Chain A
Amino acid sequence: MKKLLILLSLAAMPVAGFAAGGEHAKLDAVKIDLSDKTSLQRGARIFVNYCLSCHSAAYMRYNRMGKDLGISEELVKDNLLFAADKVGDLMKAVMPAEEAKAAFSTVPPDLSVIARARKPAWLYTYMRSFYRDDKAPSGWNNTVFPHVAMPHVLYEWQGHQRAIFKQDGAFERFELVRPGSMSTEDYDKAMRDLINFLVYLGEPAKLERYQLGVWVLLFLAVFFVFAYLLKKEYWKDVH
């Protein structure tokens, strides 16, 4: 029941076509399930180990994440606290902003609400669309976000991709020129966990919101029945 509601409300979300960048790329759908705690935990591990090196999630606290994802404070302290001293700290990037600016000529954006600014499908496709491009400063380019400053951080997992373009310059497909440590399926799964985590990170109270909403609507339905009966009773003598 709970899962069904979550899926239903997620399906209802992309009602309007509000694209945020990369409009022309075809996006792959990704299954978001915030009640899948193990997926969220795997995503959190990838996020803290890799993304947080350069990106911040500076509106989020480590202990809040631990509490929501079912990771004890000790585990958070021992395994996830590379860039902070206290579990109550905000999740700030390891790399200082000035250094990042020097390295990438731009400060990597904060990722706290990135899944709300960009659709999950966009993020999921983006993370799987890096390809080798010798003309790019970092040696990497991306079909979803052309000329992005970010290099392919996870190339060791995914391997090297080559982009094949059609005659008219439109993107056709990727070709894996050098395999990484993960199979394509495993890499896709890891990225799904990461995006699932980013959706959680965008709004930690989301699951709680769905759960509370069911009770509120049930209460209102019961309240309406009594309010309606009261109205009928009073209006009996109005003709």
Chain B
Amino acid sequence: MLTNLLAWIDERFPLTKVWNEHLAEYYTPKNFNFWYFFGSLAMLVLVIQILSGLFLAMHYKPDTGLAFASVEYIMRDVEWGWLIRYMHSTGSSAFFIVVYLHMFRGLLYGSYRGPRELIWLIGMVIFVALMATAFLGYLLPWGNMSYWGAQVIISLFDAIPFVGPSLAEWLRGDFVVSDATLNRFFALHFFIPVIILPALVFVHIVALHKVGSSNPDGIEIKKKKGPDGKPLDGIPFHPYFTVKDIAGVAVFLMFFSAVLFFAPELGGWFLEPDNFVPANILQTPTEIVPLWYFTPFYSILRAVTTDMMRFGLLPFMAVVGGLAIYSVRDMMMRAVVAGATAAILLGLFMMEAKIWGVIMMGLSIVLFFLLPWLDRSPVKSIRYRGWMYKTALTLFSVSFVILGYLGTKSPEAISLFLMKNVYWVQIFTIVYFAFFLFMPWYTTLDKTKPVPERVTP
């Protein structure tokens, strides 16, 4: 009976074919380790966010006079409303934790390298869409930090020459963040994660299944096939990785629930005290800071001062430009690189620090897109790379964490030691960019180890 039904469907829809191609006969490297849990976990969190968000939207009111109260209404009067709200607020931070670890896996094992450049690019688009979603959603509770955070970030567009101010006004729908802004943010906060994100995730996975998964050794399992035509080091995704990922989901949900039930504010890191004060146009919070997942980039924005441009960025860009001019052999290309370097250096002289802050913040994300082409190493995985890449990745990770931490603090305070936060932030901003901009050279010079033929356990 069921077989007949399946045959009936298969004649009309490739159900068995899809099942086999993407699950039962999708051959996956058997040496996946800890770092390979985070892709499936990111999908899980997306589902959690969409479902909890759907139920929140049934009770939330996108109106400056009602928004804050409607969130408290959800927390108090809606059955299980507090649980749904905390699932969503904890989920947003969990989403970034999982996605950052997923991206870090890419840096560890060179997952972005050919032939997987497109998977990486689509993934980066997902990351940008995720950031947009989080930013939009953060305004909705209409707390004071919601309000001032949106105010600060949208006013960044003012820095764009000529069109900036009118663009910022167009985005807000008003001269300040207002009811019009809240309403459109609500609409977009529904549209992007519910329509755009799942579509992008779908494309991300289609691209992945076209070339096959990479692995901690960074070798292609498709190159070594048995007589049956199946990769020797591959095992079907289903049931092997479905059961493995279920165990991973259990562990993840334990961490998730521990935060959700016992510390949903996580000491101000997941829900800020200032956001329990309704939005107030007349009263700015002591320190306007975004939530932790944006603070590395926010730090870079705040790092760029006039002094930083003169004594930090200018020499740094001169060295990068000089190296690039020296390394390019083709005379035409050399002229182009020299022109670009001159334009950047001139820009650092001519344009204000505020504009460069925005440019550097944008660049700190754009550079991730270029990783597949910046990395010139003959090997993919960190297991076979030399000390240079290992050092660079360590420094980059440290700078990301410190920029993130100091992004929550006042630039004038001393939160680490010796110096004001702003100086540490400026140093680590240079380290952050050095990781990307010097990558073509240190990955070329780095002494690599021979890569094995088959995967190692």
Contacts and interface: CB of A to CB of B under 8 A. Distances in A.
Interface of A: 5, 8-9, 12-16, 18-21, 23, 58-61, 64, 109-110, 112-114, 116-119, 202-205, 209-210, 212-214, 216-217, 220-221, 223-224, 227-228, 230-231, 234-235, 238
Contact of A117 (B86, B240, B277): B277
A227 B82 CA distance: 29
A223 B251 CA distance: 9
Interface of B: 30, 69, 72-73, 75-77, 82-83, 86, 235, 239-240, 243-244, 246-247, 249-251, 253-254, 257-258, 260-269, 272-274, 276-278, 286, 408
B246 A209 contact: no
B73 A238 contact: no
A220 B75 contact: no
B74 to A, nearest CB: 10
A118 B274 CA distance: 8
A210 to B, nearest CB: 7
A67 B14 CA distance: 56
Sorted nearest first, the 9 A-B pairs with minimum C-beta distance are A213-B261, A15-B267, A18-B268, A59-B72, A224-B250, A116-B276, A117-B276, A227-B247, A9-B262
A228 B247 contact: yes
A13 B267 contact: yes
B261 A117 contact: no
B240 A234 contact: yes
B250 to A, nearest CB: 4
A119 B82 CA distance: 20
A12 to B, nearest CB: 6
Given A15-B267, A59-B73, A227-B247, A210 B261 contact: yes
B82 A205 contact: yes
30 contacts: A13-B267, A14-B267, A15-B268, A16-B268, A16-B408, A18-B267, A18-B273, A23-B286, A59-B73, A64-B76, A109-B277, A112-B72, A113-B72, A116-B273, A116-B276, A117-B273, A210-B261, A210-B262, A213-B261, A216-B257, A216-B261, A217-B257, A217-B261, A220-B253, A227-B246, A228-B247, A230-B247, A234-B240, A235-B240, A238-B235
B60 to A, nearest CB: 14
B261 A18 contact: no
A5 B265 CA distance: 17
Given A20-B286, A112-B72, A117-B274, A9 B263 contact: yes
A178 B414 CA distance: 43
Contacts of A114: 276
Contacts of A227: 243, 246-247, 249-250
Given A16-B267, A209-B264, A231-B244, 8 more contacts: A18-B272, A18-B274, A117-B274, A117-B277, A119-B273, A202-B276, A216-B257, A217-B258
